[in-house]
Structure 1
Amino acid sequence: MSAVLSTPKRSRTRAADHYLTFLMVVLLGYSLAGRGFAYIGAPPLFIGEVLLLSGLLVMLRTGGVFATVSSLPGTLLAILIVWVLARTLPYFGTYSFDALRDSVIVMYGLLAFVVIALLYDEPERLRRLVLAYSGFAVFFVTVMPVVYPLFQLLHAQIPTWPRYGVPFISLRPGEVGVHFAGVALFVLLGFRRLNPLQLAMLVFGMALVAAHSRGGMLAIVVPLAIALALVPRSRQLAPLLGIAAVTVIVALVLNLEIEVSSRKLSVDQLVTNVMSIMGTTDTATLDGTKQWRIMWWDKIIGYTVQGDHFWDGKGFGINLADDDGFQVVDAEDGQVLRSPHNAHMTILARAGVPGFVLWAALLGSWSVFMMRAFLLARRNGDRAWARLFVFLFCYWLSIVINASFDVTLEGPMLGIWFWVLFGVGIAAGLIHRHELENRSPLPHS
């Protein structure tokens, strides 16, 4: 508090506004270049760590610090961070920076506190974020349907970072799918209108991801279905569905196929992905990866819920793929694995059952917080607020779904997006509630 009181208001505001711009630039970089953008910097301070540390410094100079833990999700996040630190620091001497790297699945949650403090300190920054995302939506839907297939076709020719061998652009289908879902949500909820060509690009991009990745497909379909159930009236729903239908018909008639990695992007592949989620298929690759995941998850449950690591897990730093006997080279980026393709299993394996219970409570409490905020806004006739809460919840849910099938929250590409959305959701709920409390009641006649 003394640091806040001793800092001139204008200086604090300027620093926070500059940081917000920096945050938006970093989020844009992760969405467009993926893992390639994450390697800007030098160990141990890559761009994500610079964002986090500078954000904490700025947060301490704002007047919204106490808002960070004023909600149940914020309090649970603080407790979970303490637990993860307790399961990380004892292994730092053995695993060095690998321990810190593995802990970011939760430690990036400190960014949620930064976002809450900045937005609650100056609510106008929330409006600025929404306007910035409106521009991002148009840019992403114009660029990514071209960049993503080109990356898949030409990834071997893309220049790499000299020290790490990582391409300057390295995109996973789930990451791209989450942002296509975000743009589609933004459009269907009425925050931005797209012209027919842009809608066609959006449909094409979502189809590419859905044919390439089962997790990416679910990360698109489920949030959109929930959003339309909560806010059924959308002026752009009919055009979007019409363009989607035309796209499928044309692809079927012309038997369009695009060779990408080990799969063909086609309507047949899309159907195969749907069938593989619902049951088994005749495709050995899809069924094999699903069985591999299930076997690994069963082993994690065995040595935590039913085993010796019930209370403590294996800690942060150890390579779970090596220690559990499930090491393979990741087909998407050519890297060896460190964690199972499921963030929830990663938490269970590393933080034990207490950590997993805290994690589940955190996700559940944030979901309830957002739904209560949505219902409160709708009950008070605040339609824009209600749509914003649905957008934030469904966008965040898209990342959670993708994190249930892929290594997602363990890295900054979607991990930082996840925690930023988490923080924006809490801040928006607090700001709206404060706005309602300060409205002048109507005079009695």
Structure 2
Amino acid sequence: MTFLKSLSVQVLVALLAGLGLGALAAAYGGAAATPMIEGVEALGGLWLNALRMTVVPLIFAVLVTGIAQVADAAATGRLAMKAVVWFLALLLVSAVTAVLLVNGILAAWPVGEATSAALRAGAQAPPAGTPIAPDFAAWVKSLAPSNPIKAAAEDAILPVVVFAIFTGFALTRLPEGRGRTLLEVFNALGEAMIVIVRWVLMAAPLGVFALALGVGLRAGVGAAGILGHYVVTASLAGLAVGIIGYVLAVTVGRVPVRRWAQATAPVLAAAFATQSSLACLPAMIERARDDLGVPARVTNLVLPLAVAVFRMTSPAVNLAVCIFVAKVYGLEPSALQYTGAVFVALAVSVGSVSLPGQVSFIVSVAPICVALGLPLDLLPILLAVEVVPDIFRTLGNVTGDMAVTAIVARDEPDDHPTSQA
């Protein structure tokens, strides 16, 4: 955790340094500066490709194991099933909220063409002849890949996700022990990809610095404003989902506002400081039990399950990132592309919950970008300023975890009912 936090700071410093030096080179470096910076920028492209090469195998591996984990959890009993239903419903609410809210925000506060050009300047433009969105019939046919390996090779993420989901559920239906062997293989594959990503991320300061040099060279400091625009937009998506969780706890969970605020205050403080739902688990269990009066058998099941397979803000903030990227490139995804992107966002939110923030950002956002027909070249730059949106991700996640716990516990009897005098 300390390493990841220090890495976030290093990446942010590298971004600022790259933008600044690139702008200085553009202003005072003369003609000789451009080929030198473009040579360094090529190293940034190499780093970006090293990240990209892990996306498809990692997504498939974590989805298969993640879906199997949810299926096993749902099979453990009525409480677990009730919690999983709420998880899935709130993930869908999160995704739809992001599509409506972020498009509304960017309509009222549009990304300027000049600032968009500034951010695009350091990244590869969408290739000419990018295929248009298919019609409904073609889209439906594409959901089931006739050749999953070909779909993976062509970055057709949505069919890969569908195949992974079916594979994950199918493995849980095999005779005892047979599916477990293959799940262990996929689990090992996912862990191996995470190791590679960690290796690549160790070079993140250098990679982001190299990419930012190109942005600074071509755009000067004008890119800083649009990065601030992105931070506010993504943070608002996370904040909105957190507010939804807050409201649901009070209305559906029937927790008085004052009691809810008292119970969540220390948890939110821990979330702000740690940016980790897992680190907040002890505080969530304690506050849910002591302040909300949730039975121990409910807190001991629902909260660990929530931390394992549920991140309420993940679809919202990940879609916010992709919608922002679309606006920067002046692209307008179709309704069918948004439908596919929502489906992918829901699926990858389950598979990536146990990954570190820097890893899960690329793994979760890249497939959604592909589903929307967007390039991935801006993601390393946005990763460099992900620290602030990640705070709102965690605040919304722990709020959602506790809200579902309160809702599930609403009609459950107390562990130790008060005795009658």
Fold similarity call, TM over 0.5: no
Give TM class, smaller chain: under 0.3
| Higher normalized helix content (fraction of residues) | 2
Specify which structure has the bigger relative contact order, considering alpha-carbon pairs within 8 angstroms and separated by 6 or more residues.
Answer: 2
Q: TM-score, normalised by structure 2?
A: 0.27
Q: TM-score, normalised by structure 1?
A: 0.26
